[in-house]
Amino acid sequence: MELTFYIASGIAIVATIMVITRYNLIHALLYLVVSFLAVALVFFVLGAPFVAALEVIVYAGAIVVLIIFVIMMLNLKEEAVEEERHWLTRDVFIGPAILSVLLLAELVYIIIQGDTGQIATKAIDAKAVGISLYGPYVIGVELSGILLMAGIVGAYHLGRQKKKVVHRFLEHAEE
Amino acid sequence: MTANDFLSIVPLFILTSTAILIMFSISVKRNHKVIYAITLASLLADFVYLMVYMRGTSHSIEPLFIIDGLGVFYIGLILITSLIVAMMSYAYFEQREERKEEYYILLILGTLGASTLVISKHFVSLFLGLEILSVALYSMIAYQRKRERSDEAGIKYLILAAFSSAFLLFGMALVYLVTGTMAFEGIARHLTANDGLSFMLFAGLGLMIVGVGFKLSLVPFHMWAADVYEGAPVPVTAFIATVSKGGVVGLLIRFFVTLNGHQYPTLVLIFTVIAITSMFTGNILALRQNNVKRLLAYSSIAHMGYLLVAFIAGNALGTEAVTFYLVSYFITTLGAFGILAMLSDTEHDAEATEDYRGLFWRRPWAAATFTAMLLSLAGIPLTAGFVGKFYVIAAGVNMQEWLLVVMLAVNSVIGLYYYIRIIAIMFEQQTKAETSNTRLNPAIYIVSSVTLAILTVSLIWLGVFPSGLMGIIKSLL
């Protein structure tokens, strides 16, 4: 069973390396999704199914969709449509697809085996996570809320103004 | 949470509710004066509450927080520092920024983050506090987007802080892997039971030092300091130099004392190397600086190095010395940046040394205050800086840290050069014709001037009669 852990973490590392070496954003995003899925599987194998589900829902789901929205909003020109046609050719999605199929096979194997293996001493379910978060660590949860508030207020302020973006190295080039 | 838990954490609740109150107040009507008043009043109320009701509190909220003398003192220090930063912010932002109200939310949240740091005894609260502080700082640094270099500074801080957080988290993960606990006491128990540092634990602590060293801008994690100091608005720079560093120092003391880190020669060696390189790098880079903000950034690197000397010395005297040094450093830094903010015009900050040429003949009071601050940074007698440095050296000598003490003395001499150089420039006769700064409503300056006067008086008071503060620190720690 330890092998499942190593395969999943291997896939996570490979996918993440692919993310940072791609030049095309959409290609990088596909690998990013694979990387999140692999990390979710790692969590699952380690006995944290709830965190694994969150990883898929929040990261691979919501956040990646948000990034795709932003990219789509930035490319509104005619040629962008033509460009988008090339984004999903076979060469592009074959890599992420192979990695995902590997992960899927692993997941199916684990489910058929019917236990999470020796690595996890015991699986932590959603109830245990909730009791811990809203029991002893409740101040931590509140502080995370404050953390988000700081982020949102800052993003609101910085995002609402238009600005000439000048780096000091570009100053002379623009003048 | 019991009532007792609640009462001992009221200072944090006051800060949180202030942030929310300001947010609602903005949504009703944007009024700089009202929000400024709310900020000052709540910081002051919080400080008074702390002083009146929480002296001698010793309470721990399992598993995250411990509110004891050290925590109360550092929270008080952080609150009063934020208050002074807020006071100097009004004039600065009123002249320069269209939307200045959100700044106060971020300031309060940054203060909350730093206060969380100094009372945490668990990796969870440590990390949350550090992140609240960092996230507030990201946007505060880039707050005035019309300024040149503010984006550069903001992005630089964002990327490097995120990077150092990753180091910190990985370090925590390694420590957790070995010890099986994230509470400081649990880690200490594991250390005493297992008699020493295993390689994995050592690697974990080393990675955590990277995260902490970044926040304190210690060499070799100091690359961001000069650019961020230069790019950020002056009050924010003052905030980074004081509150952000003070919070982390408080945390570092608690962590190290709980772990009894001084008995591990390897850890002490690491801190010794960091301290010596910080002192030398900071002072040598500052020597040829013509930008006062950058100069203060490099000088802050060196000062954190001095502070580490007392930290390495350990024991009660070392902790007292660190705390006293921090107080005197805060007063001095706030004063220096206060002068910077006051002299800046709407277009750019008074950061070139040229701006200070002949300042003594134009604005003698400002020049005299700035001179006092610089002398204190250099550690000249009759200032708080001197007593602080003396205290640090005493702590070092007490523990026979001769190498560090000698290095500190050598560096004080190097440092003297660039502080005195600025003072000399201020006394030179002006060569170019006076450019008349368009000065705003003089009433705005009254608050700033009063703040600076208070800072100067306390600077000299601490330099002449340090025993009062020493007594307070001794009784609280």
Sequential DSSP letters for B54-84: -TT--EEETTTEEE-HHHHHHHHHHHHHHHH
Which one of A141, A142, A157, A167 would you mutate to disrupt binding with B, by most B Cβ within 10 Å of its Cβ?
A: A157
Nearest by CB: B19 against A143, A149, A167: A149
Residue A153 at interface with chain B, using a CB cutoff of 8 Å: yes
Distance CA B422, CA B431 (A): 16
Q: Is A47 exposed, middle or buried (0-12, 13-18, 19+ CB in 10 A)?
A: middle
DSSP-derived pairing of the beta strands B59-61 and B65-67: antiparallel
Residue at A28 is within a domain: yes
The parent domain of residue A66 ranges over 2-124
Distance CA B102, CA A156 (A): 9
Residue at B463 is within a domain: yes
pLDDT at residue B349 in the model: 75
Three-class SS state of B20: helix
Q: Could you give the dihedral angle defined by the CA atoms of residues A51, A57, A61 and A67, in that order, rounded to the nearest 10 degrees?
A: -60
pLDDT at residue B302 in the model: 94
Contact B132 A153 (CB under 8 A): no
**A101-105 average pLDDT score:** 90
Cα angle, residue B67 at apex, residues B65 and B70 outer, rounded to 5°: 120
Cα angle, residue B361 at apex, residues B356 and B365 outer, rounded to 5°: 80
Please provide the DSSP assignment of chain A as one string.
-HHHHHHHHHHHHHHHHHHHH-SSHHHHHHHHHHHHHHHHHHHHHTT-HHHHHHIIIIIIIIIHHHHHHHHHHH--SHHHHHHHHHHTSHHHHHHHHHHHHHHHHHHHHHHHHTS--SS-SS---HHHHHHHHHTTTHHHHHHHHHHHHHHHHHHHHHHSS------TTTHHHH-
Q: Two tokens at B69?
A: 């003398």
Q: Which residues of A touch B148 (CB under 8 A)?
A: 166, 168, 171
Distance CA A11, CA B28 (A): 51
pLDDT at residue A174 in the model: 44
Q: Is B256 exposed, middle or buried (0-12, 13-18, 19+ CB in 10 A)?
A: buried
Nearest by Cα to B355 from B346, B345, B365: B345
Place of tokens 């245990």: A128
- Among chain A residues, the shortest Cα distance to B116 is held by A143
Three-class SS state of B291: strand
Place of tokens 């330099």: B463
**B347-356 average pLDDT score:** 79
Residue at B383 is within a domain: yes
- Which of the residue ranges B75-79, B168-172, B438-442 would you say has the lowest mean pLDDT? B438-442
Distance CA B380, CA B415 (A): 11
- Cβ B328 vs Cβ B385: under 8 Å: yes
Contact B139 A163 (CB under 8 A): no
How many C-beta atoms lie closer than 10 Å to residue B96's C-beta?
Answer: 18
Q: Decide which of B149 and B141 is more confident.
A: B141
Nearest by CB: A143 against B63, B128, B140: B128
Report the mean per-residue pLDDT for chain B.
89
Q: Which residues of A touch B21 (CB under 8 A)?
A: none
What CA–CA distances, in Å, run from B243 to B158, B249, B331?
A: 18, 10, 11
Distance CA B270, CA B249 (A): 17
Which one of B18, B26, B102, B117 would you mutate to disrupt binding with A, by most A Cβ within 10 Å of its Cβ?
A: B102
Residue A166 at interface with chain B, using a CB cutoff of 8 Å: yes
Residue at A19 is within a domain: yes
Domain count, chain B: 1
Residue at B362 is within a domain: yes
Residue at B392 is within a domain: yes
Nearest by CB: A140 against B125, B135, B145: B125
Q: What is the sign of the dihedral through the CA atoms of B463, B467, B473 and B477?
A: positive
Q: Which residues of A touch B141 (CB under 8 A)?
A: none
Q: Decide which of A118 and B138 is more confident.
A: B138
% of chain B beyond a pLDDT of 90: 61
Residue B355 clears pLDDT 50, i.e. is over it = yes
Contact B105 A153 (CB under 8 A): yes
**B259-274 average pLDDT score:** 90
What CA–CA distances, in Å, run from B14 to B134, B248, B298?
A: 20, 21, 35
- Nearest-Cα distance to chain B for A146, in Å, is 7
- Which of the residue ranges B102-111, B256-265, B405-414 would you say has the lowest mean pLDDT? B256-265
Nearest by Cα to B19 from B93, B81, B106, B78: B106
Residue at B149 is within a domain: no
- Which of the residue ranges A153-167, B3-17, B224-238, B425-439 would you say has the lowest mean pLDDT? B425-439
**A95-115 average pLDDT score:** 84
Element (H, E) at B129: helix B123-141
Residue at A86 is within a domain: yes
Residue A141 clears pLDDT 90, i.e. is over it = yes
- pLDDT tens string B417-446: 999 999 998 888 776 555 555 555 666 678
Domain count, chain A: 1
Crossing angle between the packed helical segments B150-179 and B224-231, to the nearest 10 degrees:
140
- pLDDT tens string B361-420: 888 888 999 999 999 999 888 899 999 999 999 999 988 889 999 999 999 999 999 999
Q: Decide which of A87 and B149 is more confident.
A: B149
pLDDT at residue A167 in the model: 60
Crossing angle between the packed helical segments A138-159 and A126-134, to the nearest 10 degrees:
80
Residue A157 at interface with chain B, using a CB cutoff of 8 Å: yes
Question: Looking at residue A91, which CATH number applies to its domain?
Answer: 1.20.120.1200
Distance CA B448, CA B452 (A): 6
pLDDT band at A175 (very low <50, low <70, confident <90, very high): very low
Q: Which residues contact B416 (CB under 8 A, 6 or more apart)?
A: B378
Rounded to the nearest angstrom, the gap between the alpha carbon of residue A168 and the centroid of all alpha carbons in its chain is 33
In terms of average pLDDT, the best of A13-17, B218-222, B312-316 is A13-17
Place of tokens 């201020």: B426
Report the mean per-residue pLDDT for chain A.
82
Residue at B401 is within a domain: yes
**A134-151 average pLDDT score:** 93
- Which of the residue ranges A84-98, B30-44, B441-455 would you say has the lowest mean pLDDT? A84-98
Residue at B342 is within a domain: yes
Residue at A10 is within a domain: yes
Residue A162 clears pLDDT 60, i.e. is over it = no
- Nearest-Cα distance to chain A for B84, in Å, is 21
Which one of A146, A160, A168 would you mutate to disrupt binding with B, by most B Cβ within 10 Å of its Cβ?
A: A146
What CA–CA distances, in Å, run from B127 to A144, B180, B183?
A: 10, 17, 12
Contact A154 B9 (CB under 8 A): no
- pLDDT tens string A58-97: 998 898 888 888 877 776 666 666 766 666 677 777 888 8
Place of tokens 């596909």: A30
Q: Which residues of A touch B65 (CB under 8 A)?
A: 139
Nearest by CB: B132 against A137, A150, A166: A150
Residue at B250 is within a domain: no
Distance CA B6, CA B61 (A): 9
Residue at A166 is within a domain: no
- Cβ B461 vs Cβ B331: under 8 Å: no
- Among chain A residues, the shortest Cα distance to B131 is held by A147
Nearest by CB: A136 against B63, B110, B140: B63
The parent domain of residue B342 ranges over 264-432+442-477
- pLDDT tens string B275-325: 999 999 999 999 988 899 999 999 999 999 999 999 998 888 889 999 999
Residue A138 at interface with chain B, using a CB cutoff of 8 Å: yes
Which one of A153, A161, A164, A172 would you mutate to disrupt binding with B, by most B Cβ within 10 Å of its Cβ?
A: A153
pLDDT at residue A154 in the model: 92
pLDDT band at B49 (very low <50, low <70, confident <90, very high): very high
Distance CA A101, CA A106 (A): 8
Distance CA B378, CA B367 (A): 16
- Nearest-Cα distance to chain A for B119, in Å, is 13
Residue A151 at interface with chain B, using a CB cutoff of 8 Å: yes
Residue at A155 is within a domain: no
Distance CA B198, CA B174 (A): 11
Contact A153 B131 (CB under 8 A): no
pLDDT at residue B104 in the model: 94
